[in-house]
DNA sequence: CGGCATCCTCTTTGATACTG
DNA sequence: CAGTATCAAAGAGGATGCCG
């Protein structure tokens, strides 16, 4: 990207992060952790291979990403975030928060990946750290299941199922995302097919579920 | 901008905000408040006139900006942020925070506007709300002077001078930005020409000035 | 002057195909 | 698996012109 050539921290940040796809690549590395090239390509439906290659190289020279070349017999490259790359998480999180209402605009042919769901949810939960800790949320969508664990240490997510979740949410990704993002009330989400099992009181601390 | 077509709040946010110049236009409207076209053009050195026009139209249809058409004899247009537009402030603020260390990369021919300085500074101060309130900071740079007022209600900035500032910082914008952004210690900033008058203890609550 | 629209050139992107 | 190569289309940048 051509530099804006402005002595302003916002412009300088966008000189590095403002290229198309760049912040989505960071999203993937923040969610998935160290990734192979194909893992990234898979989490970024629509990206052209040459662009992914270009962006990774730019991110490397900007110091946000480093590549670990695993020697044979593994013979693969792993792309990692540096500390500076992880420091950009608040930017991605702010975008996730602001973008939540736009989920409603989704068209049926939008691509979706199951790991995007717990990420967006955790962004919201992270900024509404409640009193009643710890809590385990189980999500089920047609794409797969994931778990959000909220402890005093923070919010973590993973794919799969939990043994004894405090609450289970089942429904379409759109509805779960908008509900956990505060964009739908429990009543509205229920009307749109969200099924909730367990103790709804767990959600109270997050200012969710208000009628 | 072409949509990413991903059912993810980050991608949806970037569908709206990700175009070149868009977030810098928001920066200007957040800092300056309602602006005329030429005010914006002035705060965005380097933008082509047709792009500014295009972006403003996009932001209007996206619901982030509305235009107030003052009838003759004033016959000018004022561009305002909507509530939704102001809601994007955390995105700009996160970029400002992350971009602060990059101020060090500035080249001598980078454009600069005096109102960028107190903005970046206030972003940092806002997230380190200390105990010793209220406080008034006076900034002096070769480009002009500005005031940052910190009260229990928040952090506000304005151009000009204050009657009785608690502390006065004078120096090059780069140095003031990096110091108030936590990227330089007081000692380092002093070595780079920062002059400080008043009670340095005012800064303690912001975790600044540590040797 | 304020707020664009037009024209032109140059760069970036997107889609597809191919390679070590 | 991790990229290059190629090429058409879209977008950005710069100059200038227009109209109340």
Measured CA B121 to C1' C10 distance, in angstroms: 37
**Which tens digit of pLDDT belongs to each residue from B6-37?**
999 999 999 999 999 999 999 999 999 999 99
Closest nucleotide (C1' vs CA) to B67 is C3
pLDDT at residue A57 above 90? yes
**Cβ–Cβ under 8 Å, residues B178 and B149:** no
Is domain A9-87 annotated with CATH 2.40.10.10? no
Measured CA B21 to C1' D19 distance, in angstroms: 27
Higher pLDDT, B126 or B172: B172
Residues forming a β-bridge with B145: B140
Chain B environment of A174 (Cβ under 8 Å): 7
Contacts A–B by Cβ distance under 8 A:
168
Residue A211 — pLDDT band, cuts 50, 70, 90? very low
Q: Is the peptide bond before B73 cis (omega within 30 degrees of 0)?
A: yes
Q: What is the mean pLDDT of residues B84-109?
A: 95
Rounded Cα distance between B163 and B176, Å, is 21
Specify the CATH number of the domain B93-205. Answer: 3.30.1050.10
Extents of the domains making up chain A: 9-87, 93-205
Per DSSP, B152 falls in state: T
Instruction: Give the burial class of B26: count Cβ atoms within 10 A of its Cβ; 0-12 exposed, 13-18 middle, 19 or more buried.
Output: buried
In sequence order, what E strands does chain A have? 65-70, 76-81, 135-141, 144-151, 154-159, 167-170, 195-198
**Cβ–Cβ under 8 Å, residues A177 and A117:** yes
Which residue in the set A90, A99, A103 is minimally distant from B94, CB to CB? A90
pLDDT at residue A17 above 80? yes
Q: What is the mean pLDDT of residues A144-153?
A: 89
pLDDT at residue A206 above 90? no
Rounded Cα distance between B96 and B44, Å, is 16
Higher pLDDT, A180 or A90: A90
Return the closest-CA partner of residue A176 out of A127, A128, A141: A141
Q: What is the mean pLDDT of residues B3-8?
A: 96
The helix (run of H) or strand (run of E) holding residue B148 is: strand B144-151
**Which tens digit of pLDDT belongs to each residue from A122-144?**
888 887 766 667 889 999 999 99
Domain pair B9-87 / B93-205, same fold? no
Phi, psi of B210 (to 5 degrees): -70, 135
pLDDT at residue A96 above 90? yes
Rounded Cα distance between A34 and B123, Å, is 31
pLDDT for res A101: 94
Closest residue on chain B to A121 (Cα): B9
Residue B210 — pLDDT band, cuts 50, 70, 90? very low
Provide the token pair at B172: 């090059």
pLDDT for res B74: 67
Closest residue on chain A to B10 (Cα): A96
pLDDT for res B38: 95
Question: From the CB of residue B158, how many other CB atoms can be counted at a distance below 10 Å?
Answer: 12
Looking up tokens 């608040």 gives A90
Listed in sequence order, the residues at least 6 apart from B174 whose beta carbon sits closer than 8 Å to its beta carbon are A7, B103, B104, B106, B192
Chain A environment of B113 (Cβ under 8 Å): 6, 8
Q: What is the mean pLDDT of residues B30-51?
A: 95
Chain A environment of B181 (Cβ under 8 Å): 9
pLDDT for res B176: 93
pLDDT at residue B82 above 50? yes
pLDDT for res B151: 86
pLDDT for res B154: 82
* Residue % of chain B over a pLDDT of 90: 71
pLDDT for res B150: 87
- Is the CB of A17 less than 7 A from some atom of nucleic acid strand D? no
Give the β-pairing of A135-141 and A76-81: unpaired
pLDDT for res B209: 41
Measured CA A128 to C1' C16 distance, in angstroms: 46
Please tell me the pTM assigned to this model.
0.93
pLDDT for res B125: 82
Closest residue on chain A to B5 (Cα): A110
Closest-CA distance of chain A to residue B98, Å: 6
Closest-CA distance of chain B to residue A113, Å: 8
Torsion sign, CA atoms A15, B194, B138, B97: positive
A19-28, A182-191, A197-206: range with lowest mean pLDDT: A197-206
pLDDT at residue B118 above 70? yes
Higher pLDDT, B46 or B156: B46
Residue B183 — pLDDT band, cuts 50, 70, 90? confident
Rounded Cα distance between A179 and A56, Å, is 34
- Is the CB of B49 less than 7 A from some atom of nucleic acid strand D? yes
Chain A environment of B40 (Cβ under 8 Å): none
Protein residue minimizing CA–C1' distance to C3: B37
End-to-end CA distance of chain B: 46
Per DSSP, B116 falls in state: H
Q: Which residues of A130-142 are buried (b: 16+ CB within 10 A; e: fewer)?
A: eeeeebbbbbbbe
Chain B environment of A64 (Cβ under 8 Å): none
pLDDT for res B129: 64
Closest nucleotide (C1' vs CA) to A53 is D3
The helix (run of H) or strand (run of E) holding residue A51 is: helix A49-61
Closest nucleotide (C1' vs CA) to B54 is C4
Query: Rg of chain A over CA atoms, in angstroms?
Result: 19
Coil, strand or helix: which one is B91? helix
Higher pLDDT, B87 or B154: B87
Per DSSP, B111 falls in state: B
């Amino acid at each position: 990207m051509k530099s804006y050539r402005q002595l302003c921290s916002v412009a300088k940040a966008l000189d590095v992060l403002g290229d198309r796809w760049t912040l989505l690549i960071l999203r993937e590395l923040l969610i998935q952790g160290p990734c192979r090239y194909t893992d990234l390509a898979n989490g970024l439906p629509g990206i052209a291979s040459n662009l992914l290659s270009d962006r990774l190289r730019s991110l490397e020279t900007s110091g946000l990403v480093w590549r670990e070349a695993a020697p044979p017999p593994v013979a693969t490259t792993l792309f990692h975030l540096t500390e500076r790359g992880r420091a950009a998480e608040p930017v991605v999180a702010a975008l996730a928060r602001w973008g939540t209402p736009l989920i409603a605009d989704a068209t049926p042919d939008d691509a979706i990946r199951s790991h995007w769901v717990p990420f967006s949810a955790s962004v919201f939960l992270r900024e509404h750290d409640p009193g009643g800790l710890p809590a385990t949320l189980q999500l089920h969508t047609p794409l797969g299941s994931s778990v959000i664990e909220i402890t005093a240490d923070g919010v973590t997510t993973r794919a799969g199922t939990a043994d004894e979740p405090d609450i289970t949410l089942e429904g379409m990704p759109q509805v779960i995302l908008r509900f956990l993002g505060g964009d739908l009330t429990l009543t509205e989400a229920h009307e749109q097919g969200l099924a909730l099992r367990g103790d709804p009181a767990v959600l109270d601390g997050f200012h969710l579920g208000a009628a």
